[in-house]
C-alpha cells in the first residue's frame, strides 16, 4: 500500500510554473534574517508577510515588521515592533502560534537580552485590527540556576506534539532545548520552564547550534528533539528523548565525517512521509546537500543528495507534498525540485523546475499556504530592497481531485477490508487488483508488477494491461 500511495501521489507532477506578482520593500539599512507568511483571516484581508530585520550598522535596533501584500499596489507596513533603545538585546527568532488554542493568533518574540530584569520572551495576542503595540505577556524567567542563557530558536509545539507549549533552544552556558508554557492567563505574566533536551556534544566546543522537534511516530508517539551542531567544521547530530521520569536520554548520535559530510550547517528543512517518519534536508556552507532520516528506535541515517555550490535557501513547509522539497539558486534566479525515490530511500539531486523573475540573495524559507497548494512564495534581497515573488504551479485540479478520491477509496479498502476471500480485497505480489483510473491517466512506473489497469474506453469489453505494459499517455 505504501508503494501504491507514493505511486499515485507521483502523478501530480507540475507541468508549468509561472511567476506573478512581485512585491518590493525597502530595506533601509537593515538585513532580513527570517520571514514567514501570515495568512489572511478572511477574504477581505490581504496576505501579510512578517520579517525579522537586523540593523547593518551600529545604531539600528532589531525590528519585527509586518507588511500587507495587496494583489495590486505596493506593500504597506501594518505593524512593527522595535527593541527599545535602552534594552541591550536583539531579536533572535519569532513564531506565529495559537498556544492556548482559542482561535486567536499570537506573535511570540524571543531576544538574547542578558540580565534578570530584561524580558526575553514577549507575546502579542492579535486583536481585530492587528497585534497590539505592547506585549500582552512577557517573561524574564531564568534557567539552570540563573546561568547565562541566550535564546536562539523558537518552535510552537501545537502542530508537532499537540501541546500548548513552546520549545526554545538556548545557547550561552545552558545549551539545551527547553519547553516553556504559560501559567494562567497571558496577562498574568507567569511562565514556567519544564522538560529539557540536550546532547553532551552540545555542551562543549560547538560553534553552530540548531534544534528541531520531531513529529511523533505512529507506534510510540515519543517526544523527540534532533540536536544539531558543528564542531571544527564537522556536523554532529543527536536524537534526544525523555524517559518515564522526564529525564533527558540520547537515543542516537551520528557524526558527519563518517559519511564524508563536512562543513557547517547553513539551513535545514523538515519533512515527514506518510508513515510519520521524519526527514531533514541540510545545506552546508560548502554547497553540499544531504538528507538525514530518523527512526522511533533512535537510529539516524544520512545520505548525500548533491554537491553544488549554486544551490541555497532550502524550502519545504508543512503544506508541501511530503515526498519532495524545493531549493533556490544562490542568485535567486532558478527554482529546483527534489523528489523522494522510494526504491533508493533517498531524495534525487535537485532538478531545474523554473526560472524566477527576481534576482538577489534568497532568504531562508520558501513558503506555501494551506489553502493555496499550487503557489510557492520566494523572498530575495539585494543591496536596497526585499522582493517577494509568487511562483504558481499549474496543476490540473480535476485530475488532482480524481486521484485524491481514488487514493482515499483504496486506503479505506485496504484499512477496512470487507468480509470475503483475501484475494478480492488486498494487493500482494501474486494477487491482482482492478483499478478504474480517471480518464487520461496511466501508471508511469512499474512499481507493482501484479497490479492491473482497466481501460474503460470500451465499457462492454474492458481491456486489462499490466503495469509493465502501461506507458505515459499524457502529462499531468
Give me the DSSP letters along 302-340. EEEEEE-TTEEEEE--TTS-TTEEEEEETTS-EEEEEEE
What's the pLDDT score for residue 148?
59
pLDDT level of residue 50 (50, 70, 90 thresholds):
very high
CB 291 within 8 A of CB 281: yes
∠ Cα 28 34 37 (to 5°): 100
| Cα dihedral value 451, 453, 425, 340, nearest 10 | 50
| DSSP code at position 215 | P
- pLDDT tens-digit readout, 152-197: 999 999 888 889 999 999 887 778 899 999 998 888 888 998 899 9
Percent of the chain residues past pLDDT 70, beyond the cut = 70
pLDDT given at position 415: 56
Beta-carbon neighbour count of residue 124 at 10 Å? 24
Distance CA 281, CA 316 (A): 9
- List, for residues 326-380, the tens digit of each pLDDT value: 888 888 888 888 888 878 878 888 888 888 888 888 888 888 887 887 788 999 9
**Which of 68-72, 201-205, 332-336, 358-362 has the lowest average pLDDT?**
201-205
DSSP run (H or E) holding 177 = strand 177-182
For the ranges 25-39, 180-194, 265-279, the lowest mean pLDDT is seen at 265-279
- Report pLDDT for 78: 95
Residue 285: closest CA among 269, 261, 302, 304: 261
Low-confidence winner among 164-178, 267-281, 307-321 (lowest mean pLDDT): 307-321
435 band by pLDDT with thresholds 50, 70 and 90: very low
Is 254's pLDDT higher than 80?
yes
CA–CA separation, 252 and 231 (whole Å): 18
- CB neighbours (10 Å) of residue 424? 10
* Cβ neighbours of 471 (radius 10 Å): 9
- φ, ψ of residue 395 to 5 degrees: the values are -120, 140
Q: Which of the pair, 193 or 454, is modelled with greater confidence?
A: 193
Give me the phi and psi of 258, to 5 degrees please.
-70, -20
Q: Where is mean pLDDT largest: 39-43, 224-228, 291-295?
A: 224-228
φ, ψ of residue 15 in degrees (nearest 5): -100, -20
Residue with the larger pLDDT of the pair 239 and 474: 239
Question: Is pLDDT at 402 greater than 80 in this prediction?
Answer: no
Beta bridge mates, 392: 18, 375
User: 3-class DSSP state for residue 7?
Assistant: helix
- Residue 142 contacts residue 149 (beta carbons within 8 Å): yes
Instruction: Name the range with the highest mean pLDDT among 74-83, 243-252, 439-448.
Output: 74-83
pLDDT surpassing 50 at residue 399: no
- Share in percent of the chain as helix, strand, coil (round to 5): 10, 45, 45
Closest CA to 181 of 96, 92, 100: 100
Residues 388/377, Cβ–Cβ less than 8 Å: yes
Helix extents (H) in 328-435: 397-415
Q: Is the model's pLDDT at 421 over the cut of 80?
A: no
Measured at the CA of 311, the angle between CA 309 and CA 314, to 5 degrees, comes to 135
Which of 22-26, 127-131, 399-403 has the weakest average pLDDT?
399-403
Sign (positive/negative) of CA torsion 294, 216, 192, 152? positive
**What's the grid cell of residue 436?**
478504474
Across 15-165, the runs of DSSP E, i.e. the strands, are 17-26, 30-38, 47-55, 63-69, 76-82, 91-97, 106-111, 121-125, 137-139, 149-156
The confidence score (pLDDT) of residue 140 equals 86
**Polymer length of the chain:** 476
Distances (CA, A) of 199 to 89, 204, 226, 251: 27, 10, 9, 10
Residue 312 has a pLDDT of 63
Among 85-89, 283-287, 424-428, whose mean pLDDT is lowest? 424-428
Asked whether the predicted pLDDT for residue 438 surpasses 60, the reply is no
- What is the per-residue burial (b if ≥16 Cβ within 10 Å, else e) of 229-260? bbbeeebbbbbbbbeeeeebebbbbbebeeee
Phi, psi angle pair for 438, to nearest 5°: -60, 155
Cα distance between residue 125 and residue 96, in whole Å: 10
- Distances in Å between the Cα of 56 and the Cα atoms of 32, 50, 133, 330, 383 are 10, 19, 24, 21, 11
464: cell is 486489462
Separation of alpha carbons 174 and 47, rounded Å: 38
pLDDT tens digits for range 293-307? 887 677 888 888 887
Task: Calculate the CA 367 to chain-centre distance.
Answer: 9
Q: How far apart are CA 370 and CA 382, in angstroms?
A: 29
- Residue 309 has a pLDDT of 62
Amino acid at each position: 500500500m505504501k508503494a501504491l500511495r507514493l505511486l499515485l501521489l507521483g502523478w501530480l507532477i507540475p507541468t508549468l510554473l509561472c511567476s506573478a506578482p512581485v512585491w518590493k520593500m525597502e530595506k533601509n539599512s537593515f538585513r532580513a534574517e527570517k520571514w514567514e507568511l501570515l495568512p489572511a483571516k478572511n477574504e477581505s484581508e490581504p496576505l501579510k508577510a512578517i520579517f525579522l530585520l537586523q540593523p547593518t550598522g551600529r545604531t539600528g535596533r532589531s525590528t519585527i515588521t509586518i507588511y500587507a501584500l495587496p494583489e495590486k499596489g505596493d506593500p504597506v507596513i501594518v505593524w512593527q515592533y522595535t527593541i527599545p533603545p535602552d534594552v541591550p538585546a536583539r531579536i533572535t527568532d519569532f513564531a506565529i502560534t495559537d498556544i492556548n488554542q482559542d482561535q486567536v493568533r499570537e506573535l511570540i518574540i524571543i531576544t538574547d537580552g542578558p540580565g534578570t530584569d530584561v524580558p526575553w520572551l514577549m507575546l502579542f495576542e492579535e486583536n481585530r485590527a492587528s497585534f497590539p503595540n505592547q506585549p500582552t505577556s512577557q517573561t524574564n524567567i531564568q534557567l539552570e540556576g540563573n546561568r547565562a542563557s541566550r535564546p536562539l530558536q523558537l518552535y510552537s509545539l501545537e502542530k508537532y506534539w499537540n501541546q500548548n507549549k513552546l520549545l526554545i533552544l538556548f545557547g550561552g552556558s545552558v545549551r539545551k532545548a527547553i519547553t516553556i508554557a504559560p501559567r494562567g492567563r497571558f496577562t498574568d505574566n507567569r511562565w514556567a520552564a519544564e522538560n529539557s533536551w540536550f546532547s553532551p556534544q552540545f555542551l562543549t566546543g560547538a560553534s553552530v547550534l540548531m534544534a528541531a522537534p520531531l513529529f511523533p511516530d505512529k507506534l510510540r508517539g515519543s517526544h523527540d528533539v534532533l540536536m544539531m551542531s558543528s564542531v571544527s567544521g564537522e556536523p554532529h547530530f543527536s536524537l534526544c528523548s525523555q524517559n518515564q521520569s522526564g529525564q533527558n536520554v540520547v537515543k542516537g548520535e551520528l557524526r558527519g565525517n563518517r559519511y564524508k559530510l563536512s562543513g557547517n550547517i547553513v539551513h535545514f528543512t523538515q519533512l515527514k512521509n506518510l508513515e510519520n517518519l521524519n526527514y531533514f534536508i541540510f545545506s552546508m556552507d560548502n554547497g553540499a546537500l544531504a538528507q538525514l532520516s530518523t527512526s522511533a528506535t533512535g537510529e539516524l541515517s544520512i545520505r548525500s543528495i548533491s554537491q553544488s555550490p549554486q544551490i541555497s535557501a532550502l524550502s519545504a513547509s508543512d503544506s508541501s507534498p511530503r515526498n519532495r522539497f524545493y531549493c533556490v539558486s544562490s542568485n535567486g534566479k532558478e527554482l529546483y525540485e527534489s523528489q523522494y525515490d522510494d526504491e533508493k530511500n533517498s531524495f534525487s539531486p535537485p532538478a531545474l523546475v523554473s526560472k524566477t523573475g527576481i534576482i538577489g540573495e534568497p532568504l531562508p524559507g520558501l513558503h506555501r499556504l494551506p489553502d493555496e497548494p499550487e503557489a510557492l512564495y520566494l523572498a530575495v534581497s539585494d543591496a536596497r530592497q526585499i522582493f517577494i515573488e509568487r511562483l504558481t504551479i499549474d496543476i490540473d485540479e480535476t485530475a488532482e481531485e480524481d486521484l485524491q478520491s481514488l487514493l482515499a477509496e483504496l486506503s479505506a479498502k485496504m484499512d477496512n477490508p470487507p468480509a470475503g476471500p483475501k484475494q478480492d480485497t488486498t494487493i500482494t505480489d501474486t494477487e491482482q487488483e482492478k483499478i478504474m483510473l480517471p480518464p487520461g491517466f496511466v501508471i508511469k512506473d512499474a512499481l507493482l508488477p501484479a497490479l492491473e489497469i482497466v481501460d474503460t474506453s470500451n465499457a462492454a469489453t474492458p481491456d486489462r494491461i499490466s503495469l509493465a505494459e502501461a506507458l505515459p499517455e499524457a502529462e499531468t
